[in-house]
Amino acid sequence: MQQTKTASAPNKARRTEACPIDLKVLMNHIYEFRKGVRQMVLFTCHKRYEAFARQRLEHMGIPYLVQPAGKQNLNLYFGRSECLDAIRLIVNRPLNELTPEEDFILGAVLGYDICAQCQRFCKRKGKCCKVS
């Protein structure tokens, strides 16, 4: 699915640019990272966007890591170098094969709600979590 944006400039003909929603999400993640809202981002997209994503991150000097995610998708991690170093050590197989501990650390590094991560950890460990 693509959304179309019409752009106009003084003394220039009107033109139409197609920008897939996945790329808009990527650009929003980059914006949030650069503004300090996030220290680390996990962006999953179709492999056809890999070249664009790499080029954009390299142009902005943002460190990143790409890993396959199934046959047609990829996981693109980007953010602080120290976070990427941890990701490289933890995420060395598909995400659904991570241990509960690895999954918890990944969620924490990505800035997910820590209480939700604790509940997820307990559930994956097969223990009851008391929700208040």
Is pLDDT of 9 > 80? no
| pLDDT tens string 21-37 | 889 999 999 999 999 99
Contacts by residues 85-90 (CB-CB < 8 Å, ≥ 24 positions apart): 87/40
More confident: 14 or 79:
79
Residue 118 to residue 113: CA distance in whole angstroms: 9
Length reported for the chain: 132
* The pLDDT of residue 19: 75
* The pLDDT of residue 126: 87
Residue 36: what are its φ and ψ, rounded to 5°? Answer: 85, 5
**Hey, which residues does 18 pair with through a beta bridge?**
4
pTM of the model: 0.79
Mean pLDDT calculated for residue range 89-107? 94
Is pLDDT of 40 > 50? yes
* The pLDDT of residue 7: 42
* The pLDDT of residue 130: 62
Residue 21 to residue 121: CA distance in whole angstroms: 31
Residue 81: what are its φ and ψ, rounded to 5°? Answer: -60, -40
Residue 120 to residue 92: CA distance in whole angstroms: 21
Q: Which domains does the chain have, with CATH numbers?
A: 20-125 (3.30.2190.10)
